Amino acid sequence: TGWASAMARLFTFLLTLLGVHLVAAAFKICAFNIRSFGRAKAANQKVMGALVQILSRCDITAIQEVRDSRGIAIQMLLRELNRYDRSHHYSRLESKRLGRGSYKEQNVFVYRMDVVSIIDWRQFEDEKIGNTEAFVRGPFAARFHSLFTAILDFVLIVHHTSPREAAHELNLLFDMCKELMEQWKTENVMVLGDLNAAGAYIPANAWARIRLRQDLGFHWLISDTEDTTVSHRTCCAYDRIIVHGEELLGAVVPRSAKAFNFTQALGLSEEEALGISDHYPVEVNLRLAPKAQREL
């Protein structure tokens, strides 16, 4: 009937308004391992179309596994992202190319520069600590500032652990966090990325030796039971978000940390989804600042 149709349209309109309100009610931080992201993926319209839909949900995304030595792929991604979402302007901060051998990759922070700014950054080197090998790929850190969030300043450390060295590198990240806290005089630090922190990469008896896990000041927001992998054949929480600092933890929206299943959200087959990545992004929301603070 006409009445039923009108009510359906009204219901849809109200849901749309609610969706807009919910999107605007929090500041979203994401981490996404876009497996081997280079010029081949950047030239694939279907892949790029999906990527901009995924990334446009986030105020900051820490991207891992950027493989293009000439930097063209990430430029193309930013261009398409800014075309897709004209309500914001996206910029980027790139790490150096990381890796000990011929295999190199980058970490890249993609962020809405009209909402958040970068006030400092640091690239940790692939160096030895004493006689011990440090990281296969050094962590990349940035200090962010935003008037829109309930916390003005916070530090993000993105890292992609070497699978064979995952337990060792997770333990070393504890030292990197403490070093940054001292350098930047803040307790509010978030570690995020593909940490390979699950499955055979972290034997059960290794957890007790990982200070990043055992220290009560660090809060692991992505649980061990979360599946951050695309393939139906795997179920592992490789990708994590770890928060330090009571102020930052207090700014986190409860139960907002999760993997974003873009296979379901975008209506993709498993094969199509794997063409984008074998990882799902992980995400967490921060509460927005009071209106008065946002208008400063």
Mean pLDDT on 170-190: 95
Predicted confidence at residue 36, as pLDDT, reads: 87
pLDDT, the chain, mean: 88
For residues 241 and 190, is the Cβ–Cβ distance under 8 A?
yes
pLDDT confidence of 70, banded at 50, 70, 90?
confident
The three-state secondary structure class of 265 is helix
Topology (CATH level 3) of domain 27-294: Deoxyribonuclease I; Chain A (3.60.10)
**Cβ-count burial 236-260 (b if 16+ within 10 Å, e if not):** bbbbbbbbbbeebbebbbeeebbbb
DSSP of 47-65: HHHHHHHHHTT-SEEEEEE
Catalytic residue among 65, 80, 105, 283: 105
Q: 142-158, pLDDT tens digit by residue?
A: 999 999 999 999 999 99
Residue 65 appears among annotated catalytic residues: no
- Is 19's pLDDT higher than 50? no
Among 46-50, 77-81, 124-128, 186-190, the minimum mean pLDDT is found in: 124-128
pLDDT confidence of 38, banded at 50, 70, 90?
confident
| Residues in the chain, overall count | 296
Q: What is the DSSP-derived secondary structure letter of residue 201?
A: G
The full set of domain ranges for the chain reads: 27-294
Position of tokens 């139960």? 255
Predicted confidence at residue 186, as pLDDT, reads: 96
Among 15-19, 91-95, 119-123, 201-205, the minimum mean pLDDT is found in: 15-19
| Higher-pLDDT residue of 126, 192 | 192
Residue 283 appears among annotated catalytic residues: no
- Is 42's pLDDT higher than 50? yes
| Beta-carbon count within 10 A of 162 CB | 16
- Is 21's pLDDT higher than 80? no
For residues 257 and 286, is the Cβ–Cβ distance under 8 A?
no
Query: Which residues lie below 8 Å from residue 144, measured CB to CB, with a gap of 6+?
Result: 60, 111, 116, 117, 118, 119, 153, 154, 155, 156
* Token pair in block for residue 69: 């030595």
Mean pLDDT on 44-67: 95
Catalytic residue among 160, 168, 244, 279: 160
- Is 230's pLDDT higher than 90? yes
- CA–CA gap between residue 102 and residue 116 (Å, rounded): 35
- CA–CA gap between residue 223 and residue 151 (Å, rounded): 24
